[in-house]
Amino acid sequence: MNERPIPVSAVERIPLPEAGAVREAFARACPAGPPRKLVVLDDDPTGVQTVHGVPVYTDWERGTLARGLAEDGPMFFVLTNSRALTAAETVRLHTRIAENLAQAYRDTGREFLLVSRSDSTLRGHYPLETETLRRTLESALPLRFDGEILMPFFAEGGRFTVGNVHYVRAGGSLIPAGQTEFARDTTFAYRASDLTEWIAERTQGAYPAGETVCISLEELRALEVEKIARRLRSVHDFGKIAVNAADDLDAEVFAAALWRAAALGGNYLLRCAAGLVRALGGIEKRPLLTSAELRTGGGAGLVIAGSHVQKTTAQLERLLRDEPDLCPIRFDASAALREGALETESDRVLAETERSLAAGRTAVVYTSREVLRAGSGAPEDNLRLSTGISRTLTSLVSRLETVPSFLIAKGGITSSDVGTRGLGVRRAMVLGQLLPGVPVWETGGESRFPGLPYVIFPGNVGEEDALLLAVRKLRGREEQEHA
């Protein structure tokens, strides 16, 4: 665990293959498109940050999953928000999802590839979620998973895996993930940056580092699709496979190899970030959304910032400093530590938000920036505290009378609670990305504000000016300034 930061240029030392050759390799592996429907379980709403034109469901009932399997398109997402759950809640949730998915498969006959989409900075309930899914599905269906694929690559967020070490980009350097603030998460802390060591750490030695099969950048960039497919087929008994990647083309080559291995009879469960999802589905990239496409009319919107990571704090400070005519509203999170104070604070913030929107001013509601910890210090008590604050904060949306022209939620738990509890979304369509790695939902007719552009802004994505640029684009100011 003595990895050191490396320059971003280090990922360019191994030449990339030609994009056309990669597309041809993918077409050979699955000439009619992806042969199985991708079912993507998303532990917060940010997993759609590389795709467009795909549906997101916020429940996992049998009928919902059957509908997702049967409808057109290469994939659908199911928002679980499991990163906000305790371990026991996570087991119950994933058992139920797997049982319902097995029934939906029997109803439709549509084969699927199951993806557990999780954080690109390695936080989350691992290996609990995938072990639960594996055990339940293998009990319910004549199915055996040969291996589990781990690939936390996410280019838009600067998350690269090189030499089996997972890195987080910071300026011109790549920092080993285990040395970042994300590894000190109050619930999902870890030490290792090398994926083989991280797997051993998280599984408490059940899968030793030396037994993990690693797919290197050299293999991917040499377009060794058949060789990689054979290596995947050599894995059995839910063995672990760690995949390096530092460019979208790496993910596309691996997607071709995975589909080839599947055609040869291999079955795999995936734990990955958003970078692999688009590649597996064969979804082409599209340009960033414009103000005109979002149809906000330049009216007053609402920004809710719950994430307290340093990146979010810096983005929030820049927004409030450089964008005129905003109404900043501080939500005192410490009220959660005092009996009855959280509800009073919520009422005050709601009243200020209504006044701001009625006056035509975009409201920016943000939690106080300190990291609160439960008195016990236990990770699950810390999780309950942060979840309670998030749910109280986002209940503002369900009580809001004035319709905003757009809504931004900053942070994974925050954006999930806003979408499901605040807006009441059951099914949304992913329009695309507002900024790299920042997806936009179009809310369904059943939601509180149908057709609202809802921006899901991950807490750990973007440079210091990203939130400022997002608000300017939604207010129609970006085009004016460049006119």
Q: Which of 91-95, 224-228, 321-325, 369-373 has the lowest mean pLDDT?
A: 369-373
Peptide linkage before 55 cis (omega within 30 of 0):
no
Write a three-state SS string for the chain. CCCCCEEHHHHHCCCCCCHHHHHHHHHHHCCCCCCCEEEEEECCHHHHCCCCCCEEECCCCHHHHHHHHHCCCCEEEEECCHHHCCHHHHHHHHHHHHHHHHHHHHHHCCCEEEEEECCCCCCCCCCHHHHHHHHHHHHHCCCCCCEEEEECCEHHHCEEEECCEEEEEECCEEEEHHHCHHHHCCCCCCCCCEHHHHHHHHCCCCCCHHHCEEECHHHHHCCCHHHHHHHHHCCCCCEEEEECECCHHHHHHHHHHHHHHHHCCCCEEEEECHHHHHHHHCCCCCCCCCHHHHCCCCCCCEEEECCCCHHHHHHHHHHHHHCCCEEEEEECHHHHHCCCHHHHHHHHHHHHHHHHHHCCCEEEEEECCCCCCCCCCCHHHHHHHHHHHHHHHHHHHHHCCCCCCCEEEECHHHHHHHHHHHCCCCEEEEEEEEECCEEEEECCCCCCCCCCEEEEECCCCCCCCHHHHHHHHHCCHHHHHHC
Tell me if 238 is assigned to some domain.
yes
**With bands split at pLDDT 50, 70 and 90, how would you rate the model's confidence at 84?**
confident
Please give the residue range of the domain that contains residue 276.
Answer: 6-281
Tell me if 77 is assigned to some domain.
yes
47: Cα separation from own chain's centroid: 3
Say what the pLDDT of residue 291 is: 87
Tell me if 286 is assigned to some domain.
no
Mark 372-390 as b/e (b = at least 16 C-beta within 10 Å).
Answer: bebeeeebebbbbbbbebb
192: domain CATH number is 3.40.50.10840
Same domain, 274 and 418: no
**With bands split at pLDDT 50, 70 and 90, how would you rate the model's confidence at 483?**
very low
Same domain, 268 and 344: no
**With bands split at pLDDT 50, 70 and 90, how would you rate the model's confidence at 414?**
confident
Same domain, 221 and 317: no
388: domain CATH number is 3.40.980.20
Tell me if 1 is assigned to some domain.
no
Closest of 288, 295, 291 to residue 438, by C-alpha: 288
Q: Which of 310-319, 347-356, 469-478 has the lowest mean pLDDT?
A: 469-478
Same domain, 222 and 328: no
Burial label for 436, CB within 10 Å (0-12, 13-18, 19+), is: middle
Same domain, 231 and 251: yes
Same domain, 348 and 264: no
What global pTM score does this model have? 0.90
Q: Which of 221-230, 336-345, 405-414 has the lowest mean pLDDT?
A: 336-345
Closest of 171, 153, 170, 172 to residue 161, by C-alpha: 153
State both tokens at 174: 């790549």
* Dist. CA 205–CA 198, nearest whole Å: 10
Say what the pLDDT of residue 161 is: 98
Structural domains in the chain (count): 2
Same domain, 257 and 164: yes
* Integer angstrom CA distances of residue 174 from 180, 287, 464: 10, 26, 17
Tell me if 146 is assigned to some domain.
yes
Tell me if 353 is assigned to some domain.
yes
Other beta carbons within 10 angstroms of residue 220's beta carbon come to 28
Which of 281, 307, 338 lies at the terminal end of a domain, its last residue?
281
Say what the pLDDT of residue 413 is: 80
- Strands 37-42 and 213-215 turn out to be unpaired
Same domain, 273 and 333: no
Same domain, 261 and 346: no
Mean pLDDT computed over 451-471: 93
Summarised one tens digit per residue, pLDDT across range 286-338 is: 999 998 898 777 789 999 998 778 888 999 999 999 999 999 999 888 887 78
State both tokens at 438: 């920042």
Tell me the average pLDDT of the chain: 92
Which of 235, 254, 281 lies at the terminal end of a domain, its last residue?
281
Same domain, 227 and 334: no
Tell me if 207 is assigned to some domain.
yes
- Whether the per-residue pLDDT at 479 is higher than 90: the answer is no
Say what the pLDDT of residue 332 is: 85
* Dist. CA 214–CA 242, nearest whole Å: 5
| pLDDT: which is higher, 346 or 356 | 356
Tell me if 303 is assigned to some domain.
yes
Same domain, 360 and 250: no
- Strands 173-176 and 6-7 turn out to be antiparallel
* Dist. CA 66–CA 76, nearest whole Å: 11
Q: Which of 174-188, 274-288, 296-310, 379-393 has the lowest mean pLDDT?
A: 379-393
Say what the pLDDT of residue 374 is: 67
Which of 219, 249, 281 lies at the terminal end of a domain, its last residue?
281
168 contacts 177 by C-beta, under 8 angstroms: yes
State both tokens at 222: 């040499």
State both tokens at 410: 């900053």
First-to-final CA distance of the chain:
51
Say what the pLDDT of residue 430 is: 96
Same domain, 316 and 271: no
Other beta carbons within 10 angstroms of residue 17's beta carbon come to 17
